Amino acid sequence: MNLIFPPWVNATGLINSTAWPTDEELQQVINVTHQYGGIAVINHIPWSYPRLYDIPTLAELFSWGLDYVEVVNQDTFDFQSYRYALENGMGVITGTDMHRPEAGVNGWTTLIPSNYSEEAIFESLKSRQTSFLYDAIGSPYYANPAVTVANIILDPLFRIGSAIGGYFTYETSSWSFNDGWCYPPHMVIFWDQIGIAIGWFAISFTFFEVLRQVLTYFFEKMRKRHTMKKSGMHYSENDRLLNVRDSDAMND
């Protein structure tokens, strides 16, 4: 949840919460935010609900006074939340959630403030006079760094690391912005994929070992044949010289 306070309010220390607040604590946070003229926003519901359990529904949050719901996060359009906001008069807002500079921008929040001051923009948000633009393809943000010699040298190691990283994942929950993760992160190892990889490695090793043995046998046989042929030519030359000498001796 994001809390947006008026520009003239110093919100430092106003909200006291834990990494995993109770329903009553969430309601208290929304109430305190409203007491100081602020706005409460719930973010990326499609991302949060599958990763968390026992969290309030959007309807419950709205009944507690929630002002806005994020309907676009990166390239995800939350149609269910958007429809709920339209039917119940909630404000809609977007977020780029740009964790990497090469990520594109898919959503823009639109509003019509009286001017471009912080106060006017906040008042427009406060009155819920917002809409949004959504582009499924996204607007590219070109921020690719130049390739250096170090990148080229270390690239094989990066690729090996990426390949190894495909056999495990580090699962986390939502970040509480208070005491760290809401739930302790933990590692999940894909043992079945590791077993399959080991099987393919064994098959590949067996194949190349058989191929090596076949090629070794073939080249060894060719080498012996070549040696025998070369030895036969040597014997034939010696016989020819002996015959010439015998013929010369008979002539004498």
Q: Using one digit for the tens of pLDDT, what is the confidence trace for 15-34? A: 777 767 788 988 999 999 99
pLDDT of amino acid 224: 78
Q: What is the pLDDT of residue 4?
A: 92
Phi and psi, residue 116, nearest 5°? -100, 25
- Do residues 107 and 94 touch, judged by C-beta distance below 8 A? yes
pLDDT band at 120 (very low <50, low <70, confident <90, very high): very high
Residue 39: pLDDT above 90? yes
Residue 138, sorted as left (phi over 0), alpha (psi -120 to 50) or beta, turns out to be: left
Question: What is d(CA 30, CA 61) in angstroms, rounded to the nearest whole number?
Answer: 9
Can you tell me the distance from the alpha carbon of 136 to that of 76, in angstroms, rounded to the nearest whole number? Answer: 8
Phi and psi torsions of 187, nearest 5°? -95, 135
pLDDT-derived band of residue 129, with 50, 70 and 90 as boundaries?
confident
Q: Which domains does the chain have, with CATH numbers?
A: 2-144 (3.20.20.140)
Q: pLDDT tens digits for 200-229?
A: 999 999 999 999 999 998 888 888 777 776
Query: Greater confidence, 173 or 46?
Result: 46
pLDDT at position 123: 93
**Residue 157, pLDDT above cutoff 80:** yes
pLDDT in tens, 63-118: 999 999 999 998 889 999 999 999 999 999 998 887 776 777 889 999 989 899 99
Would you state the pLDDT for residue 48?
Answer: 77
**Average pLDDT of the chain, as a whole number:** 83
**pTM of the complete model:** 0.64
Counting residues of the chain whose pLDDT is more than 90, the rounded percentage is 43
**32 touches 85 (CB < 8 A):** no
pLDDT tens digit string along 165-205? Answer: 888 887 776 666 566 666 677 888 999 989 999 999 999 99
**Long-range CB pairs of 26-29, under 8 A, 24+ apart, other chains included:** 26/1, 26/56, 26/61, 26/64, 27/64, 27/65, 29/1, 29/3
**Closest C-alpha among 87, 92, 84, 94 to residue 129:** 92
Q: Is 94 helix (H, G, I), strand (E, B) or coil?
A: strand
Q: What is the mean pLDDT of residues 148-162?
A: 90
Place of tokens 């990066």: 158
Element (H, E) at 231: helix 191-251
Determine the pLDDT at residue 173. 65
Mean pLDDT highest for which of 118-122, 186-190, 242-246, 247-251?
118-122
Query: Span 58-67, mean pLDDT?
Result: 93
CA distance 248 to 238: 16
Per DSSP, what are the bridge partners of residue 92?
Answer: 69
